[in-house]
Structure 1
């Protein structure tokens, strides 16, 4: 099932980091936003991070 994307993330970074992000995204044929998502999810998987049982946008949130 597709995830609903309804959150906005704004960051400040250096020109060098932005250029590296652009290069990585182009290499993967992705947008910068999609590349950031992939990088965060890969990091989470590699480091054993998991989504909370309930939270914003999750079933059962607020119960």
Structure 2
């Protein structure tokens, strides 16, 4: 089975946006990179953008976790 390497994706955002994403990541016990990936996948799915080459079941680990509080 081939293993795909992840890629670096740099983005510049306002400090308040970064703080909000960091807060969300901490609450869901995710890394900042994983939270960003979850958010992008959710956006693409919600707006009908294709995720070519990515099987639907391969993204289960990216499903948003429910906050226990």
With the length of structure 1 as denominator, give the TM-score of the two structures: 0.71
Q: Give the ranges of 4+ consecutive aligned residues of structure 1 lying more than 3 Å apart after TM superposition.
A: none
Corresponding position of 1:44: 44
Query: How far off is 1:4 after superposition?
Result: 2.5
Bigger Rg over Cα:
1
**Matched pairs, number:** 52
Gaps of 5+ in 2: 54-69
Unaligned runs of 5+ in 1: 54-63
Which residue of structure 2 lines up, in the alignment, with residue 14 of structure 1? 14
Q: 1:1-48 deviations in whole A, cap 9, x for unaligned?
A: 8x6233110111111011101100001100000000000000011111
Task: Give 1 or 2: higher helix fraction.
Answer: 2
Distance 2:6 2:30 in 1: 19
Report if the CA contact (8 A) 2:44-2:50 is conserved.
Answer: yes
C-alpha RMSD of matched pairs (Å): 1.9
